Amino acid sequence: MSRRSQNVEADIARFASEVAIRIDSIVAKLDVVADHGSSSGSEFDHFVDVTRQMLVDGEIGDVLAGAGYAVSHDDFRRPPAMVWWVHRGDAVVERTHSVDPDSESFYDYAALRWFRTAASSGRPTLSGPFIDAWGSNDYTVTVSVPVSESTGPGGVVAADVDVRRFVDSLTADLRRIRVPLALVNESDRVVVSTVPALSTGLPIRPRSVRDTAESPVLQRFPVSDYGWSVVSLSG
């Protein structure tokens, strides 16, 4: 193997670990929120306060677009409940989601990866990029962390990443490595890439050919154990 290709490999691996560090830092913030249940009063109100505070405390240049909490409701004793905070101008305001299963615009969070996978795996979960219909109605990357059920109703705390800012901030670093590259999620959907035709949200191969055509992936570098990876592409 040539010295040059070894360098490129090292650069890609470094990029993958930089992405992991960014995700880790959001997970760390969520862990703090998830680990400290309320000592008194209502568990839900506690999470209403702390998730709001998470956005209020955000630093300038922070990529968090929203944060919130949703309870587990897989039994009949506890109805679904969720709170979500977003930035609007300089303020942090609540974005309402209908959590009444009988309502037309029911936001069925329990069916969504950010809630479902975090709750069932018990691990930090990375979801997206996906269009959050019934929620933000825009591209979303969500980092979520389960809340222990030992003290209360459990559930999931989560934060939305501002996808455009996140992608912008990674593009320059990615372009510096001079081979075709993409950061992809667990379904090989593009988060960001250096290939103009592969913009955020697209699969690296259309469904129609994904089982027949040869994979364009030459090498894959995992982003920690979040399911994302940086792939070098042919062509």
Partner 1 sequence: MAVPHTSDIVREVIFAPLEHGGRTQVVFDRLRNAVALDVFKDGEQLPPETELAAQLGISPVTLRDALGLMRDAGLVETRRGRTGGSFVRREGYDPVAHGHSRLDALTLVDLRDLSDWRMSVTEAAAALAADRASDDEVDGMEQHVDAFTRAKESAVARRAEGRLVIALAAASQSVRLTRATVASVVDYGPLLSVAYRNTKLRTSVGRAHRSLLEAVRDGRRDDARAAVRSAGLEVAHGLASQRTAGTARGAK
Interface contacts to partner 1, rule CB under 8 A: 48, 82-84, 94-100, 103-105, 107, 111, 113, 130-139, 187, 189, 201-203, 206-210
Cβ distance to partner 1 smaller for residue 124 or 129: 129
Q: Which is nearer to partner 1, 6 or 199 (by Cβ)?
A: 199
E-state strands within 136-227: 139-147, 155-161, 181-184, 190-193, 217-222
Q: Minimum Å distance from CB 96 to partner 1?
A: 4
Q: Which tokens belong to 23?
A: 């995700």
| 8 Å CB contact between 23 and 191 | no
Q: Minimum CB separation from partner 1 for residue 150, in Å?
A: 25
CB of 206 to partner 1, least distance (A): 4
Half-sphere exposure of 5 (CA within 13 A, CB side): 5
**Quick one: tokens of 69?**
């909490």
List the beta bridge partners of residue 217: 233
Question: Measured from the CB atom, is 35 or 100 closer to partner 1?
Answer: 100
- Residue 2 Cβ vs partner 1, minimum distance, rounded to whole Å: 36
**Least separation, in Å, of the C-beta of 227 and partner 1?**
12
Q: What's the burial of 231, exposed, middle or buried (CB within 10 Å: 0-12/13-18/19+)? A: buried
SS3 79: coil
Closest CB 54 distance from partner 1, rounded Å: 16
Nearer of residues 29 and 189 to partner 1, judged by Cβ: 189
Residue 182, both tokens: 């993409």
Identity of the residue, 38 or 136, whose beta carbon is nearer to partner 1 in the bound complex? 136
Among residues 139 and 166, whose Cβ is nearest to partner 1?
139
First to last CA, the chain: 19
